[in-house]
Chains A and B, each alone.
Chain A
């Protein structure tokens, strides 16, 4: 099946609620990514470094690296032209991602509205889901950002 190329939205009018975008870029997480991101963020809690037997020798990926990478993969086709990131409604990590997993992202455009304060700006709400190579859901993030109308 050939899917039509998704044109990157740049203005409020370009976002169509109901659109579901499968992002092209995928990303294999390495040990370097995992440790570097955790150290840069200053994580010290053993939760973020839970190596060992309980995980059958596999190394879990820092959930915030999962959030960053899955969000990063989705930027080009969603918030590339955003003028402000307003926040996340919810972020959850249903299943653990492990080092050497190949992550991909799918974004659903949930809804949009014009800003109450400034009608020349619009607010877009999207849900980005991160999946691994076995299509297990590793992250779900609902976020909203502002674009020019």
Chain B
């Protein structure tokens, strides 16, 4: 599955890329903020965007809505080093498939969220 990683923290992007590749995801690109993620997604048309919520120039929720409504991708999974409960219902209303805390990021968690999508279909 082609994947775009969006996060401003280099360390996390590196770890996430290694992890996702090990789990069989095809990491096609990385972006450091909201604006560059839109550009990258428009070019790459990734099947999945792993999107950090705390971006330097925007909130991940808004970026997610933007990416989905413009059809640059069909699936967005939000990540953050904060807890899910810190964001209230913003995650649910953003159109993203779901949320994974950064420290718990794993192929299993991602696949579980992706399968929920296919169930909905």
The judgment on whether A and B are partners is no
Instruction: Spell out A's residues near B (CB within 8 Å).
Output: none
Measured CB to CB, the residues of B under 8 A from A are none
